[in-house]
Chains A and B, each alone.
Chain A
Amino acid sequence: MSKRVAIVGIGYSGFRTTSTDVSYREMIYEAATKCYEDAGGIHPQSIDSFVASSEDFMEGISIADEYVPDQLGAVLKPVQSIAGDSLQGLASAMMQIKTGELDLVTASAFSKVSNLSSYENVLAYATDPVYVRPFQENPYFIAGLEMNRYLYETGTTREQCAKVVVKNRYNALKNPVAVYGSKLDLDDILSAPPLCEPLGEFDKSGHLDGAIVLLLASEDKAKELTDKPIWIEGIGWATDTPNLDSRTDTLGGALYAELAGKKAYSMAGINTPYNEIDFAEIDDTFSYKELQHLEALKLCGPGEAGELLELGSFAPAGDLPVNVSGGSLGIGYLHEANGLQKVLETVMQLRGEAGPRQLEDVETGLAFAWRGVPTTTGTAIVLSNKG
C-alpha cells in the first residue's frame, strides 16, 4: 500500500422528496461546484479523473454514463461509471489514486427517484427473471422474509426494530438536510400497516432526491489543498448473490457486511472494531438492517444489537453513536447516492462541522452501505482525521 488517500472536498445539493424545478444534471452541477469550492476553490481542469455511480433503469437512460461529464466539468477527461452503490464508486476512485498515476479523483452520485412513477416496478427487474419475477410480488417481500428470519435467529424483538426507527427519526430532527425527522411513539410504528409482515410501513426508509460529489486526493496533494483532510484508513466491499435460492448465508444473516467489514478493518489495522470505532453511519434502509449490520460488522456480538439499542449504546450520547445523522430512515433513501451520503456525514463529524449534532472528540468513523433488496452487496469504509 504505497500511499494514503484523503477526502478533501465535499459538496451536496437537493435532499428533497421531489425536485421538479431542477434536472439531475443541475443538481450534480450544484454539488460539484460546492465540492470544488470546499477543496479550496479548485478548477475541475486540474482534476485527473472522475467516477460516477448509477444504474440505467433508475435514470430511464440506456447508457447513463453518457451524461456524466458536462455538469462535473469533466469533458475530455478520464471518466467512468460504476454500476453500483456510490461507496463502491468511491472505492474505485481511491484505487485509481493508489496506483500512483493519478492525484485527484472525484466520486459522484445522485438520486432523482421522484422522476419514477413506480419504483417497485423497476426494483422487480432486479429479481431473478426465471425464478422470482414471474410471481409478480412487490420486491419488499424479501425484506419481510429477511426480517422474520433475523428476529427468529437472534431473538431480537419487533419492538427493538421499531426503536431503531424512533432513534433515527429523532436524530434527524437535528440534521437540517433530513426530510423525515420526527418524534414518533413506538405505537405509531407498531400499529402502522404492514408492508410484508413483520416489516411495517415505518420500518422502511422513504425516497429522497439529492446529489453528492466528493473529491479524493493523494497524500501529498491532500496536504497541499487542505488542513483538514479526512483519511481513508480502510475500505472493503463484498457481494453474496441476489438470488434467494443460492445465498450462502441464511436470510437472517448479512455475510456481505461481515466480509466487507473484515477487509476494511484489516486494511485499517483495526482488531477490535467496537473499541476502536468512535461512531458509525450504518445502512438502515429497513429498521432491522441497522441491527443486523451492526452485528455483522462486529460492532457488537451476534444477537446483542437489539438489547444494546435499548440500553442507549447507539444513541448520540452512547458508547457507539449510530446514525446520528438520522440515517436513511431519518434523512431519506438516496438510492445509488446512499453510500456517499454516509461518507458525507462521517466526514462532517470528523471535521467537526456537524453543527447541533456534532459528537465530541471523534477520531475514527465507520460508514457502511448496502444496495437494498434484492442485492447482497455491502461496502464498508473506515475514515479518520488523525495525522
Chain B
Amino acid sequence: MRKVAMVGAGMTKFVRRALETPKELSYEAAKTTLDSCGLSLDDVDCVAHGTAPDAFDGIHQNGEYMTCGSGGWNKPSMRVFVGGATGVHAIVHGWHHVASGMFDTCLVVCEEKMSSAMPHAQGFFLTIFDSITERALQPNLLWIFALEMNRYMERYGYTKEDMALAAVNNKRNGLKHPASQFADEVSVEDVINSEMLAYPVSRLDVSPVSDGAAAVLLAAEPVARRLTDKPVWLEGVGWNLDTAYWATRDLSYPRYLDKAARMAYEMAGIREPDKQIDIAEPYDPFDYKALHHMEGLQLSPRGKTVELLRDGHFGMDGNMPMCPSGGLLGVGNPIAAAGTMKVCELYWQLRGEAGERQVPGNPRLGLAQAWGDLMQVSSVVVAGI
C-alpha cells in the first residue's frame, strides 16, 4: 500500500453568518492550507471536495459550482457525499486518490454555509426522510436524535447530567481554539437548564448552526518527505453505512461505527485502540454522541464512558484527551467542514503545533471520526507521526 501523509492544513473561522460566499469560504481554507506548506495550486494534482446537502447552499450540483473556490478549476475534482460524515470521509476520499497511485498530491476541501437557509437550516432536514413511510409524519432531525439519546441513556442508566459533562468538556476545550464560534465555560446546570428542544435534548446539548470551511493537503510518501520533516501519516481509514430503516435498529450502539473503526484499526495494525490511541476527536454534534461514539470506536467500554469522563480520563491532561479542538460543540458545526476541522486538529496536535490547546506528552497517534445520514454512517481516520 502506498503511504499517504497530511502535509498541510487550514481553516476559516466558524461563524453563525459568514459574509463570504461558499466559494470564498472554500478559497480561504484552500489558500491557508497551501500557504501552511509553502505550495501553490500548481503543485496540486487533484481536488477531493465535500459539502453536505446541496439544499444548504441552495445550489444543484454544488460540487461543480465550488470548483473555482476549492481550487478544482481545470483539475480532476470530485465531490463525495455521505451526509454528516462527509468532513472526515472527504479525507478517506482523498486517500483513495493518492494511495491508488493515480495522483501524488490531493487537496481536500470541505465547506458548509448553513446560514443561507431561511429561516433555519433545520428545515432542510425535513426532506431527508423516506418520502412514503416517514415524511408524512413531518419528523424533525432533533426528534430522532432525541430518540437515540434516550435509548442510549436508558440502556446504560446514564442521566442528563452525565451527558452534559461532554458538553462542558468540549465547550471548555474550544475556548482555546482561535476559530471557535461557540466555546464557553458552562456548567452541567447550565446545560440541564437550557431550553428544552425535544426531550432529552436541551439547547446546550446541541452544536450550533455554522458557516465555515476547512482543508487538508495530502501527499504520497516521497513528496511528503520532500515537503516536511513532520508528515502526519494516514495510518488507517474506515467507513461503513447501515440500513436506511433506522427504526428497525437498536440505537443504543452504533454498529456501523464499530465496523468502520475496526476497518481502520486493521489497516493501521492497531490491536488495542484504547491503549494505543493518544487523542480522540469523536464526532460530537450532540454531547451524548461524543460518548456514544467513544464506545463504538472501542476507545471506551460500553456503559463505562461517563465514569471514565468523570475520572478525567478524557480531559486535556488525561490518558486520552477527547475533542481537544473543542469539537462541534465548542468550535462549531458547519457540517462537512466540521469533520475536516477534526482532522486538521490531529494534524496540528501530532505536529505539536496546537498552541495553547496542545495536548501534553507528545501525542503520536490520533483518531478523528464523523457520523451522518439517518444515524447510519461513520467514517474514521487514524493518523500518526
- Give the complex CA separation of A375 and B74 in angstroms: 12
Kindly identify, within residues 20 to 79 of chain A, every residue whose CB is under 8 Å from any CB belonging to chain B.
55-58, 60-70, 74-79
Our pick among A60, A80, A84, A88 for the contact of B127 (Cβ within 8 Å) is: A60
Nearest-neighbour CB distance to chain B for A100, whole angstroms, equals: 5
Task: Give Cα distance in the complex from A107 to B54, angstroms.
Answer: 22
Mark interface residues in B221-240 (1 if CB within 8 Å of A CB, else 0).
00000000000000000111
Hey, which chain B residues are within 8 Å of A78, CB to CB? Answer: 238-241, 260, 263
Asked whether, in the complex, the Cβ of A371 is within 8 Å of the Cβ of B61, the reply is yes
Near B by CB (< 8 A), chain A positions 213-239 give 236-239
Q: Which residues of chain B are within 8 angstroms of A100 by Cβ–Cβ distance?
A: 1-2, 99
Enumerate chain B residues within 8 angstroms of A61, measured Cβ to Cβ: 127-128, 131
- Segment from B5-13, B64-72, B312-320 that makes contact with A: B64-72
Q: Majority SS of interface residues in chain B? A: mixed
Knowing A101-B1, A128-B65, say if A82 contacts B74 (CB, 8 Å).
no
B82 in complex: contacting residue of A55, A81, A128, A263, CB < 8 Å: A81
CA distance A387 to B308 in the complex (A): 58
Verify B124–A62 contact, CB threshold 8 A: yes
Contact indicator per residue, chain B 18-29, by CB within 8 Å of chain A (1) or not (0): 000100000000
Q: Does B207 contact A (CB under 8 A)?
A: no
Among A63, A259, A374, point to the contact of B83 (Cβ < 8 A).
A63
CB <8 Å contact, A83 and B60: no
Q: Are A248 and B74 in contact (CB under 8 A)?
A: yes
Contacts of A239 in B (CB 8 A): 64, 67, 72-77
Question: Bound complex: CA of A65 vs CA of B241, how far in Å?
Answer: 9
Known: A66-B83, A99-B96. A259 touches B74 (CB 8 A): yes
Q: How far is the CB of B107 from chain A (nearest CB, A)?
A: 13
| Interfacial chain B residues near A55, Cβ < 8 Å | 54, 60-61
Give B103's nearest chain A residue, CB to CB.
A95
Contact A238–B1 (Cβ < 8 Å) = no
Least CB distance from A321 to B in Å reads 28
Q: Given A56-B53, A243-B68, A377-B64, answer yes or no on A81-B80 (Cβ-Cβ < 8 Å).
A: yes
Query: Do A98 and B102 touch (CB < 8 A)?
Result: yes
Q: Do the beta carbons of B61 and A126 come within 8 Å of each other? A: yes
B138-178 vs A, CB cutoff 8 Å, 1 = contact: the mask equals 00000000000000000000000000000000000000000
B242 and A129 within 8 A (CB): no
**Contact residue range for chain A?**
35 or more
Q: Does A242 contact B (CB under 8 A)?
A: yes
* Residues in B78-120 with C-beta less than 8 Å from chain A: 78-83, 89, 92-93, 95-97, 99-102
Asked whether B79 lies within 8 Å of A99 as measured between CB atoms, the reply is: no
Q: Determine the residue in chain B with the shortest Cβ distance to A377.
A: B64
Query: With an 8 A cutoff between CB atoms, is A122 at the interface?
Result: yes
Known contacts A65-B82, A81-B80, A240-B74; is-contact A76 B61 (Cβ 8 Å): no
Are B73 and A92 within 8 A (Cβ)?
no
Let me know if A275 is at the binding interface, CB within 8 A: no
Q: Which of B64, B128, B131 is most buried by chain A, counting CB atoms within 10 A of its CB?
A: B64
Task: Name which of A55, A60, A122, A371 has the most chain B CB atoms within 10 A of its CB.
Answer: A55
Q: Which of B54, B131, B241 contacts A74 (CB 8 A)?
A: B241
A69 and B244 contact, Cβ closer than 8 Å, known pairs A240-B73, A248-B74: yes
A244→B1 CA distance, assembly (Å): 41
A67 vs B93: C-alpha distance in the bound complex, in angstroms? Answer: 20
Residues in B neighbouring A94, C-beta threshold 8 A: 100
Asked if A191 is at the interface of the complex by the 8 Å CB criterion, the answer is no
**Cβ of A271 under 8 Å from chain B:** no
Chain B residues whose CB sits within 8 angstroms of the CB of A98 once the complex forms? 99-102
Q: Are A76 and B256 in contact (CB under 8 A)?
A: yes
Contact status B97-A95, CB under 8 Å: yes
Which residues of chain A come closer than 8 Å to B124, judged between CB atoms?
62
Tell me if B292 counts as interface (CB < 8 A to partner A).
Answer: no
The closest CB in chain B to the CB of A64 belongs to B81
B55: interface (CB < 8 Å): yes
Give Cα A241–Cα B239 distance, bound, in whole angstroms. 30
User: A91 contacts the other chain (Cβ, under 8 Å)?
Assistant: yes
**Which one, B272-280, B298-306, B348-356, B373-381, is touching chain A?**
B373-381
Interface residues of A in 92-131 (CB under 8 A from B): 92, 94-101, 122-126, 128-130
* Given known A-B contacts A66-B373, A96-B96, A98-B102, A91 and B78 have beta carbons under 8 A apart: yes
Q: Is B63 an interface residue (CB 8 A)?
A: yes
Query: Which A residue's beta carbon lies closest to that of B68?
Result: A241
Inter-subunit contact A69/B241 (CB<8 Å): yes
Nearest residue, chain B, Cβ from A240: B74
What residues of A have a CB within 8 angstroms of the CB of B267 in the complex? 101
Q: Which residue of A lies closest to B126 (CB)?
A: A62
Cα–Cα distance between A98 and B267 once the two chains are bound (Å): 15
Which residues of the partner chain A approach B81 to less than 8 Å between Cβ atoms? 63-65, 80-83
Residue in chain A with minimal CB distance to B56: A62
List of B residues within 8 angstroms of A58 by Cβ: 60
CB<8 Å pairs between A and B, sample of 8: A57-B61, A66-B373, A74-B241, A79-B377, A80-B81, A95-B97, A125-B60, A259-B74
Q: Can you add 13 more A-B contacts, CB < 8 Å, to A76-B240, A128-B65?
A: A63-B81, A63-B372, A63-B374, A64-B81, A65-B81, A66-B373, A79-B82, A95-B96, A101-B1, A101-B99, A129-B59, A237-B76, A259-B74
Q: A-side interface residues toward B, CB under 8 Å?
A: 1-2, 55-58, 60-70, 74-84, 88, 91-92, 94-101, 122-126, 128-130, 236-243, 246, 248, 255, 259-260, 263, 267, 371, 374-377
Contact surface of B with A, Cβ cutoff 8 Å: 1-2, 21, 52-55, 58-65, 67-68, 72-83, 89, 92-93, 95-97, 99-102, 124-125, 127-128, 130-131, 238-245, 255-256, 259-260, 263, 267, 372-374, 376-377
